[in-house]
Structure 1
């Protein structure tokens, strides 16, 4: 232990209760030898037990400052030898000669505050932490022993309470040993509850500070920055695993303090995953967010936090189950962008035509990669076709509802003016039908270029196509003509016009002689 090997009392070669004049004398001796480049050894160096102390001008000056105040003197005295009785003197003589067993035997012969301190310090040197804690805490919590110890080290003017001295000891032990191990040692030693409570608070305090600091960092990240939120969630998870594990092992899952820390951490990790998913445009965002959400669910303890985490995990699981195969993510993304555009810009037959035209390449790519019988391909293809068919039905039905109703008594019973008004309305309606029906037929023919499942084709597409054809006939529209022209883009139609015109001119050149 550093507080033993580098103990200021050891550096000066004195006991913790040695007179100040002994310290001054040894300090002067060290300075004098250092001036001529020589080193000094003292009997209390105990080189057979502890590595040699580092004595430099700086370390000596520092050591001197460390034991000027009573509070600091007592702290270091808890970890160094004290000579009060003749038995102490004999035992410490054996110790300086390397006979640790004889020294230990004498320390145990008669219990005094000094023998307990010396026994505890020797036990720490030999890494017998349990014996050290039992011996030294006995001095701390025995009123007579504690008062005698404080007076021996600092004189009768120093007043230090039982709790203050106990905390001095615990704080130094925590600097040397893992908190979990130390808590178990204290429990096994059967010391007072106040020590256990203080040790618990100190042990969990540091990891709680670390976790709260990392949560604050994650909260400071912009919510709409998907990549930054994902990175914040990963960093938060990684940097808090060890501190959270330490708190869990010290307090247990049922401890309210642990539950509060764990739930706060889980909620922030969960939020990072939610913010990432909501703002990410990556097709695999659900897959990437899932480890964050699952870890949040894993560490959450309270019912509210756990239920919220569980709900979000279930949502992502459902989304992941509906994700397309990885090889068609780009095509799927293209289709979904067009669907969003179709929805945002206002649905219509013309919008449906643009939708199918813009999605045709992506649909063909998906079919070639997955096959016409693939479930996902059938679903996405049918979705597009169903949305297109719904627009045909909606617009055509809307126009049909505008049709002027035939007179109740018959057209011939209307006055001339009423007949004229009726005919004008009917003609206007027919003109509207002549605009809508060709567009609807063009969309029908475009739909035929997509793969349809048998049920959709027989129950939805063909019956509506037949009805549309009947309407075209009733309006004297030649579906074969306008559908062909409308199925061509404006550029291709212009190309065909140029070709036909050229052929006609060639024909004329042969006819005119």
Structure 2
């Protein structure tokens, strides 16, 4: 983890950031010499009384630091997190800071900035006071983390407002000139760099709500800039997740449910942050949530069209409805939910209303419908068909229990009757007659002793439908 504040190159060499090249080289040479001898060296600008980590002044570290002063852009970036000695006020304030009197240093710089206008005389006071506030807000972990209580966040907002005021000032070029920078500097890029650095520090121990609270304390222009940068990552991530999901779904609809649920999971945190930062009424937020909602819905719809099942996706349909904002998307989500609930109900056993139906087997029910009846001669004509009734395993067993029990009893009595009468008559014809008598008797007894499944069969929605149309369960007789 890079400790950007503690490991500032200017702190490492122990100098203000507007020091001349000659002084910089002198300190670097001294540090290299001491490092080779295995000795430590202290400078006034070590500022060890602050919650900064210990300075690494090994030969390897000094060599790396030396290369960082070669580019003007680097020198400017590091100066934003350090101090400059440009005016008599800076000299007195820094002298007190070196003595650990931070209150006196702040008092002097505040006095220079009292009128609230940034000018040529106080341009370094704005940067110095802001940098000192940042250092004073570091917690005791020495890991370059800011305190994140309400009081600290308010002070952090003051420090950031001063820094952004410097960026927006006509005297920013004057600030660069004080640092010895003569090349053209892209202020927007420097501003983005500063924002990224601050956010990287905040993300170590700040929650999204705490960052949002901080942004609210910034000046309006700064807040908009900060927010715009802050939402950039979450916006891009959600858009990327939608595009990736759409491409995979296009090639394989059977992955619809998995893709949809993953899409929700992978965007949940970012969407929550955007809702807090942008607000629900933001056009940017509304447009994004509608696109996300539609993609979640599409995953479930495509899966159902391919497999005929989507009951496991009902919760995802409801989530899509909760984030949708335009009427078209809301209606689409409601239709998907209604269809899914109806399908779910249709797949629950109509007998027990609890267990799912067993689709691998069904009860085959023959139904009849009288088409014509005459009395002279006495005759009836009818049509018939077979219904496949689906139940759960338990209710299917109950529905078929009567048939199996009745059949077992019928054939058992028929066989016994055939044997007994056949033996008694000592003739094959007697055995046949006994079997016929046994079948009739067994059928009657089987009905008595078997379970009654008529209510299960009759109350099935499909059976009811055909009974209402004039069909009956028994074969019509003349």
CA distance in 2, matches of 1:374, 1:44: 93
Residues 323 and 153 (structure 1 numbering): CA distance in 2 closer, same or farther, change over 3 Å?
A: same
- How many correspondences in the alignment? 378
C-alpha spacing 1:361/1:39, structure 2 compared with 1 (3 Å): closer
Matched, 1:59 2:61: yes
- With normalisation by structure 1, the TM-score equals 0.65
Distance 1:319 1:230 in 2: 16
1:190 corresponds in structure 2 to 219
Contact 1:16 / 1:82 at 8 angstroms: preserved in 2? yes
Superposition TM-score, scaled by structure 2 size? 0.69
Alignment match, 2:459: 378
Cα 1:317–1:42 change in 2 (3 A) is same
> Partners in 2 of 1:105 and 1:234 — Cα distance?
56
Which of 337, 344, 347 is the matching residue for 1:323? 347
1:42 aligned partner: 43
Q: Give how far 1:116 is off.
A: 1.5
| Alpha-carbon distance, 1:161 to partner | 5.7
Q: Give 1:119 deviation, angstroms.
A: 0.8
> Which residue of 334, 337, 341 maps to 2:361?
334
**Following superposition of structure 1 onto structure 2, how do residues 19-418 of structure 1 map, counting pairs within 5 Å?**
19-49=20-50, 50-111=52-113, 112-127=122-137, 128-144=155-171, 146-155=172-181, 157-160=182-185, 163-177=188-202, 181=210, 185=214, 187-190=216-219, 193=221, 195-222=222-249, 228-280=255-307, 285-325=309-349, 328-332=355-359, 334-335=361-362, 352=385, 364-365=396-397, 367=399, 378-380=459-461, 382=463, 386=466
Highest RCO, 1 vs 2 (Cα 8 Å, sep ≥ 6): 2
Q: Find the residue that maps to 2:19 and give its secondary structure.
A: coil
1:104 Cα deviation after fit: 1.4
1:80 Cα deviation from its structure 2 partner: 0.6
1:461 aligned residue:
472
Cα RMSD of the aligned pairs, angstroms, is 3.6
1:508 corresponding residue in structure 2: none
Structure 1 distance, partners of 2:38, 2:111, is 43
Residue 254 of structure 1: CA displacement?
Answer: 1.4
Specify every segment of 5 or more residues in structure 2 that has no aligned partner in the other structure, as ranges.
114-121, 138-154, 366-381, 402-451
Q: Which has the higher helix share?
A: 1
Residue by residue over 1:77-120, the C-alpha shift from the partner in whole angstroms, topping out at 9 and shown as x without a partner, is: 11111111222122212212222112211222223111221110
Inter-partner Cα distance in structure 1 for 2:391 and 2:273: 55
Q: 1:243: how far off?
A: 0.7
- The alignment partner of 2:302 has SS state of helix
The range that moved more, 70-79 or 372-381, is 372-381
CA drift at 1:206? 0.4
> Structure 1 190/278 Cα, relative in aligned 2: closer, same or farther at 3 Å?
same
User: Of the two, which has the highest radius of gyration?
Assistant: 1
